[in-house]
Structures are given as C-alpha cells and as structure tokens.
Amino acid sequence: NAGVTQTPKFRVLKTGQSMTLLCAQDMNHEYMYWYRQDPGMGLRLIHYSVGEGTTAKGEVPDGYNVSRLKKQNFLLGLESAAPSQTSVYFCASSPGTEAFFGQGTRLTVV
C-alpha cells in the first residue's frame, strides 16, 4: 500500500518554464489537496478537489492550475514558473476524515 505518492521529489526550474507535479493515491479517497509550505509558515492551500472531475481554489491559487481527470490522481501545473513559486509542495488525500500526506516536492525556480 503506497498511500500518497508525489512525483518528482526535487526539481529545479528556470523562470518561465512550465511543469506538472503529480499526486497519486491508492486509497480510493474522494478528497485531494495541494499545499505549499514556505520557511516559518504553515501549509497554505493552493487548490483542492472533492471528487473526480472537480476542482476548487484554495487560499493561494494564482499561478497554478490543477486537474482531477482520474480519481486517484491530482495534478498541479505551473504554466510559467516564477521565483516566488520556490517552495515545498505537499499533496494530501482524505476520505473525508483523516488526511494523509505525501513526502513533498522541493521546487526551486531560478
């Protein structure tokens, strides 16, 4: 049972490049979340999904897009990366009760 898996674990991007972060869960959870965590701060919600085919904006959605075409996958896209998007990104899934987190993706935009 893999739980929540994030791909990749590390990435360095140049300003203006695009990339997609993948979050995969094998627990058949309805709810999935993308967060960013910056030094000295808690986790801030970027986007989330309450089921396959649905997405909703969180606290800091600007500069990011998401898709949930399959129930088990939640993709986070950066169309034109900016240095302000340098952060650690965490994905979570939940059946509506306890939330389970991936190990994070450390993204640096130079």
Partner 1 sequence: KQEVTQIPAALSVPEGENLVLNCSFTDSAIYNLQWFRQDPGKGLTSLLLIQSSQREQTSGRLNASLDKSSGRSTLYIAASQPGDSATYLCAVLGSARQLTFGSGTQLTVLP
- SS3 of residue 85 by DSSP: helix
Residues near 17 by Cβ (< 8 Å), separated by ≥ 6?
A: 80, 81
Nearest CB to partner 1, comparing residues 90 and 109: 90
Contact 104, 5 (CB under 8 A): no
Give the per-residue contact string, 33-52, with partner 1 (x = CB under 8 A; - = no): x-x----xxxxxx--x-x--
List the interface residues with partner 1, window 74-93 (CB under 8 A): 90, 92
Q: Bridge partners of 72?
A: none
What are the backbone dihedrals phi and psi of residue 49, each rounded to the nearest 5 degrees, phi first? -140, 135
Nearest CB to partner 1, comparing residues 19 and 45: 45
Exactly one of 11, 22, 77, 101 binds partner 1 (CB under 8 A); which one? 101
List the interface residues with partner 1, window 13-32 (CB under 8 A): 31
